[in-house]
Amino acid sequence: MKFTKMHGCANDYIYVDCTKEYLSDAPRLAVRLSDRHTGIGGDGLILIRASERADFFMEMYNADGSLGKMCGNGIRCVGKYVYDHRLTDKTELAVDTPAGIRYLSLHVKDNLVESVTVNMGHPDTKPESLPLIVKEKADTYTVESDGRTWEFTPVSMGNPHAVIMVDETKDFPVQKVGEPIEKNPMFPEGVNVEFVKRISDREVSMRVWERGSGETWACGTGACATAFACYRNGITGPEVTVHLLGGDLQIRYEEKEDIIYMTGPAVTVFEGTVEL
Query: pLDDT in tens for each of the 276 residues of the chain?
Result: 999 999 999 999 999 999 998 898 999 999 999 999 999 999 999 999 999 999 999 999 999 999 999 999 999 999 999 999 999 999 999 999 999 999 999 999 999 999 999 999 999 999 999 999 999 999 999 999 999 999 999 999 999 999 999 999 999 999 999 999 999 999 999 999 999 999 999 999 999 999 999 999 999 999 999 999 999 999 999 999 999 999 999 999 999 999 999 999 999 999 999 998
Q: Are residues 45 and 105 in the same domain?
A: yes
What's this model's pTM, rounded to 2 decimal places? Answer: 0.95
- Tell me the backbone φ, ψ of residue 26, rounded to 5 degrees: -60, -40
Distance, CA of 256 to CA of 274 (rounded, Å)? 47
Q: Which of 9, 18, 77, 219 is catalytic?
A: 219
Q: Are residues 131 and 116 in the same domain?
A: no
Q: Are residues 41 and 93 in the same domain?
A: yes
Question: Do you know the residue count of the chain?
Answer: 276
Q: Domain residues for 32?
A: 2-120+264-273
Q: Are residues 143 and 216 in the same domain?
A: yes
Q: Are residues 181 and 141 in the same domain?
A: yes
Q: Are residues 110 and 158 in the same domain?
A: no
Q: Is residue 219 annotated as a catalytic residue, yes or no?
A: yes
Q: Are residues 151 and 250 in the same domain?
A: yes
Q: Quick one: pLDDT at residue 172? A: 98
Q: Which of 71, 77, 224, 230 is catalytic?
A: 71
Q: What is the CATH number of the domain that holds 94?
A: 3.10.310.10
Q: Are residues 97 and 166 in the same domain?
A: no
Distance, CA of 184 to CA of 164 (rounded, Å)? 15
How many CB atoms are located within 10 Å of the residue 144 CB? Answer: 12
Q: Are residues 28 and 62 in the same domain?
A: yes
Q: CA-based angle 230:122:174, to the nearest 5? A: 45
Distance, CA of 157 to CA of 69 (rounded, Å)? 9
Cβ distance 63 to 30 under 8 Å? yes
- Tell me the backbone φ, ψ of residue 9, rounded to 5 degrees: 55, 40
The total number of structural domains in the chain stands at 2
Q: Quick one: pLDDT at residue 158? A: 94
Q: Are residues 189 and 145 in the same domain?
A: yes
Q: Quick one: pLDDT at residue 1? A: 95
Q: Are residues 147 and 77 in the same domain?
A: no
Q: Are residues 30 and 83 in the same domain?
A: yes
